[in-house]
């Protein structure tokens, strides 16, 4: 366990928060004592599933759909599975850090590396979070547009729902409600079925990892980075570690925490692959998706090929993806702000005792919603760009994570082993190389064809 010294005002929770978390732990103890593994997992599951399905957000699903429309199924289906395996490796480290230290990620960076690197990591998180949060409301707006709902109503209702979810001031209630909503990420599965994918071709793609048709181009590198940024982003590290702490997980809960994360990665990968398959008819019929404005254009373009029901499911999936991600990303930002300000930061806390936490959450939601209502914004271009930026910001966040996961003064016996370090190091190098490649083709566009 960590021996990091923390200010008294930061560690002392109000009576309500302490009482609610104690009640949750009593239920866990009873489930463990009565040998009810399924009930135990139900009580402990949440952070891992939420972080993975939260990352299957608006820009992510549009990136996957654009991938299917531009390249079909050959290369990218197994690549998406690989990215979710990467996400599991990264997020499993945050589970161990949260359990061992009972500290959020932002707080740990400040304590171990000092204010300079602490503020550097916060700037990294802040840029990524606000840009991503904007795109979540783009997804809500775009999905609702397919049903003829105006942008102000769609964005306003979406923002209100995000704020309503935290009004219960109860982590367990918030988590369960968001989990129910997150399950609708699987709407992309029936949408994909309406596209009548070729089962043999899908199996062949996974079995052989088909080479890329058309070779490596600037567009391919951009989509490659967008798909990585659709799976592994800095906010996920900050959110899951803080959620593990807010939920009160202990070392005894580590197996359930790992399974929660693995299950989330599996379900999210299924939904992501479904988004690719749903958009493959556009590839087959040579429809250029790069000119689309957002989810509404995708659903409209898919209508002749997957029918009205399939297109409606696609649009509804976009709304769900935006809502769930807006809820988790805004909470991630609020956790980090509370940690940096040494203020209370829990969904169990009252409004008066965690004012900075709730105000920062509401402010980020309001700012993102307002930006999305700016007329004539290139919505699809923004969403793809945000995922690319997320990939560029990921390398330093991963480096901090690896350093903390190897710091035995912080994490003790739960520190990384050689295998975790080897895989984690490979992920950092791969993401850094992709970022470098993107930098090269941006500065020297003549290097590879468009």
pLDDT tens-place values along the chain, 450 residues long: 444 444 444 444 456 666 777 787 788 888 888 988 899 998 888 999 999 998 888 878 888 888 888 888 888 899 999 999 999 999 999 999 999 998 888 888 888 888 888 888 888 788 888 888 888 898 898 889 889 999 899 999 999 999 998 887 788 889 889 999 999 999 999 999 999 998 888 888 888 887 666 666 777 777 777 778 778 888 899 889 989 988 888 999 999 999 999 999 999 999 999 999 999 998 888 787 666 655 568 888 899 999 999 999 999 999 999 999 999 999 988 888 888 887 888 888 888 888 889 999 999 999 989 888 877 766 666 766 776 676 677 778 888 899 999 999 889 899 998 998 999 888 888 877 776 776 666 655 555 555
- Alpha-carbon distance 365 to 66, whole Å? 27
Task: Give pLDDT, residue 71.
Answer: 86
110's tokens = 């400040």
Task: Give pLDDT, residue 215.
Answer: 64
Q: What are phi and psi of 408, to 5 degrees?
A: -70, -20
Task: Give pLDDT, residue 7.
Answer: 46
- Centroid of chain to Cα 445: 30
How far, in Å, are 83, 117, 225, 322, 357 from residue 437 at the CA level?
18, 26, 10, 29, 38
Closest CA to 236 of 38, 83, 87: 87
Reported as type and span, the H/E element at residue 76 is helix 76-101
Closest CA to 191 of 288, 302, 285: 302
Kindly give, in sequence order, each residue whose CB lies less than 8 Å from that of residue 5, ignoring residues fewer than 6 positions away. none
User: How long is the chain?
Assistant: 450
**243, 47 contact by CB (below 8 A):** yes
Kindly give, in sequence order, each residue whose CB lies less than 8 Å from that of residue 385, ignoring residues fewer than 6 positions away. none
Longest dimension (CA), the chain: 66
**165, 178 contact by CB (below 8 A):** yes
Task: Give pLDDT, residue 163.
Answer: 92
Task: Give pLDDT, residue 2.
Answer: 44
Q: 413 exposed, middle or buried (CB, 10 Å; 0-12, 13-18, 19+)?
A: exposed
Q: Is 149 helix (H, G, I), strand (E, B) or coil?
A: coil
Task: Give pLDDT, residue 19.
Answer: 73
Domain ranges of the chain: 8-443
- Alpha-carbon distance 320 to 136, whole Å? 10
4's tokens = 């990091």
pTM of the model: 0.86
- Alpha-carbon distance 174 to 56, whole Å? 19
**108, 404 contact by CB (below 8 A):** yes
**65, 279 contact by CB (below 8 A):** yes
Q: What are phi and psi of 415, to 5 degrees?
A: -65, 160
Task: Give pLDDT, residue 154.
Answer: 94
Closest CA to 46 of 183, 167, 188, 162: 183
212: DSSP letter: P
Q: How is the chain split among helix, strand and coil, in percent rounded to 5?
A: 80, 0, 20
The CATH code belonging to domain 8-443 is 1.20.1740
- Alpha-carbon distance 313 to 366, whole Å? 27
């Amino acid at each position: 366990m960590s021996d990091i010294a923390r200010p008294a005002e930061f560690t002392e929770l109000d009576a309500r928060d302490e009482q609610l978390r104690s009640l949750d732990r009593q239920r866990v103890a009873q489930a463990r004592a009565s040998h009810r593994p399924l009930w135990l997992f139900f009580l402990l599951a949440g952070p891992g599933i939420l972080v993975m399905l939260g990352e299957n957000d608006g820009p992510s699903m549009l990136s996957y759909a654009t991938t299917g429309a531009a390249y079909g199924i050959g290369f990218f289906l197994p690549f998406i599975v690989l990215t979710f395996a990467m996400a599991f490796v990264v997020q499993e480290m945050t589970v161990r850090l949260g359990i061992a230290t009972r500290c959020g990620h932002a707080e740990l960076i400040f304590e171990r590396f000092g204010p300079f690197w602490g503020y550097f990591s916060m700037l990294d998180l802040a840029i990524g979070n606000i840009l991503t949060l904007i795109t979540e409301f783009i997804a809500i707006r775009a999905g609702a547009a397919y049903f003829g709902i105006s942008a102000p109503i769609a964005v306003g209702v979406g923002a209100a729902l995000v704020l309503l979810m935290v009004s219960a001031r109860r982590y367990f209630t918030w988590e369960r409600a968001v989990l129910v909503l997150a399950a609708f990420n699987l709407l992309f599965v029936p949408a994909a079925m309406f596209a009548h994918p070729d089962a043999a071709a899908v199996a062949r793609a996974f079995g052989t990892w088909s080479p890329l048709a058309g070779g490596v181009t600037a567009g391919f590198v951009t989509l490659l980075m967008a798909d990585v940024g659709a799976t592994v982003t800095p906010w996920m590290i900050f959110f899951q570690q803080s959620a593990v702490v807010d939920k009160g997980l202990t070392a005894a809960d580590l197996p359930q925490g790992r399974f929660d994360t693995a299950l989330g990665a599996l379900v999210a990968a299924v939904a992501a692959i479904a988004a690719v398959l749903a958009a493959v008819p556009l590839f087959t019929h040579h429809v250029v998706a790069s000119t689309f404005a957002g989810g509404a254009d995708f659903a409209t373009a898919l209508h002749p090929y997957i029918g009205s029901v399939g297109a409606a499911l696609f649009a509804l999936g976009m709304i769900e993806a935006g809502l769930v991600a807006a809820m988790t990303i805004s909470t991630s930002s609020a956790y980090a702000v509370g940690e940096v300000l040494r203020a209370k930061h829990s969904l169990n806390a009252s409004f008066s005792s965690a004012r900075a936490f709730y105000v920062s959450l509401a402010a980020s939601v309001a700012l993102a919603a307002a930006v999305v209502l700016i007329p004539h914004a290139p919505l699809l271009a923004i969403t793809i760009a945000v995922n690319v930026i997320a990939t560029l910001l990921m390398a330093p966040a991963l480096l901090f994570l690896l350093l903390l996961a190897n710091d035995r003064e912080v994490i003790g016996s739960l520190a990384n082993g050689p295998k975790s370090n080897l895989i984690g190091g490979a992920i950092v190098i791969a993401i850094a190389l992709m970022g470098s490649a993107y930098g090269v083709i941006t500065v020297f566009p003549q290097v590879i064809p468009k």
